[in-house]
Amino acid sequence: MHKLESFVRLANASLAYGVEDKEVLAIDDVSMTIREGEFIALVGPSGCGKSSLLKLVSGLHPALRGEVIVDGRQVTSPISICGMAFQNSTLLPWRSALDNVLLPLEIVEPYASSFRRRKGEYVERARGLLRSVGLAGFEDKYPWELSGGMQQRASLCRALIHEPRILLLDEPFGALDAFTREDLWAVLQSLWIEKRPTVILVTHDLREAAYLADTIYVSSPRPGRIVSRTEVEFARPRTLETTYAPEFIAKVHGLRERIAH
């Protein structure tokens, strides 16, 4: 399949919260272009508008000025080709982990219309995905019976189940311990290599960004603007060994210096 050179494009996009006189500008004049299948990471100080940028791309929040174009179409309302994992796990407490993961298939076409008929197949897929993030045996637990990290993994599965063409991840590993986090980097990378969605990953962790991303964008403090763009050329699949290489460490250092604090 032909990959689009400009799959996601922001052109001088701004985003604000609140009404007229009490407006808070969260994103100011951001322009970026993301190739189809590219994995980008967005880093920046807290409150600089990273989550807001994901809302902009997903269509959850309209742009104040400028343009947001995804897959050749201007984004004016939520786009259904995206999978999203939010900063705080937003699993529905009345559904088991498995049913939470199945949720997108009940809503997004072409799955929704065949959901009843092919439920068995979908359940198998959801179980497989839960297994791949290390949640085998926890399918029937409710979110409040899972630890924070487990909830976050389930919510990652929910973002992936309908094989979205664009994946928006808001600090998905922020609440996890270092070991689990590094495990899940590998899980996410192999899922990405397999399906090749376009990924926007918001993170506070520069090693995570350098491990996973093709391109790293650094944002300024609020209102967020893009202050630097760094390509990461390490060969795939990357491993933990990669992160100990001097080039890797140099890259992370370089990034750290660009983040204002």
Partner 1 sequence: MKPPPTFARPLPAKERTDRPRRAPLVSAPLVRRITPWLVTASFFILWEIVCVVFHVDTFILPKPSQIVVSLFQHYPAITANALQTLYTTLVGFALAVAVGLFLGMLVGAMPPVYNGIYPVMVGLNAIPKVAIVPILVIWFGIGTVPAIITAFVISFFPIMVNVATGLATIEPEMRDVLRSLGARRWQILRKVGIPRAMPYFFASLKVAVTLAFIGSIVAETVASDRGIGYLMIAASARFDITLVFAGLLVVALMGIAMYEVFAYVERRVTFWATRGNEMLT
What does the DSSP 8-state code read for residue 224?
B
Q: Residue 206 Cβ, how far from Mg ion at the closest point, in Å?
A: 16
Check: CB of residue 108 under 8 Å from CB of residue 162: yes
Check: CB of residue 80 under 8 Å from CB of residue 60: no
> Which residue's C-beta sits nearest to Mg ion?
51
Sheet holding 73-74, edge to edge: 24-34, 8-17, 65-70, 73-74
Amino acid at 146: L
For residue 42, the SS3 value is strand
Among 89-97, 131-139, 208-216, 238-246, the segment contacting partner 1 (CB under 8 A): 89-97
Q: How many CB atoms lie within 10 A of CB 147?
A: 12
Among 39-47, 138-146, 183-191, 237-245, the segment contacting partner 1 (CB under 8 A): 138-146
Q: Residue 259 Cβ, how far from partner 1 at the closest point, in Å?
A: 27
For residue 46, the SS3 value is coil
Beta carbon nearer to partner 1, 18 or 237 = 18
Q: Residue 173 Cβ, how far from ligand ATP at the closest point, in Å?
A: 13
Q: Hey, what's the torsion of the CAs at 184, 189, 195, 197, to 10 degrees? A: 100
Q: Is 103 in the site for partner 1 (CB under 8 A)?
A: yes
Beta carbon nearer to partner 1, 79 or 210 = 79
Q: What is the 3-state secondary structure (H, E, C) of 85-97?
A: ECCCCCCCCCCCH
Q: Is 58 in the site for partner 1 (CB under 8 A)?
A: yes
Check: CB of residue 14 under 8 Å from CB of residue 25: yes
Give contact residues for ligand ATP (rule: CB under 6 A).
17-18, 24, 26, 46-52, 87, 222
46 binds, among ligand ATP, partner 1, Mg ion, none (CB under 5 to 8 A by kind): ligand ATP
CA angle 78, 202, 81 (to 5 degrees): 30
Beta carbon nearer to partner 1, 86 or 217 = 86
Q: Residue 90 Cβ, how far from partner 1 at the closest point, in Å?
A: 5
Q: Residue 55 Cβ, how far from partner 1 at the closest point, in Å?
A: 8
* Near partner 1 by CB under 8 A: residue from 78, 128, 148, 237: 78
Q: Residue 228 Cβ, how far from Mg ion at the closest point, in Å?
A: 19
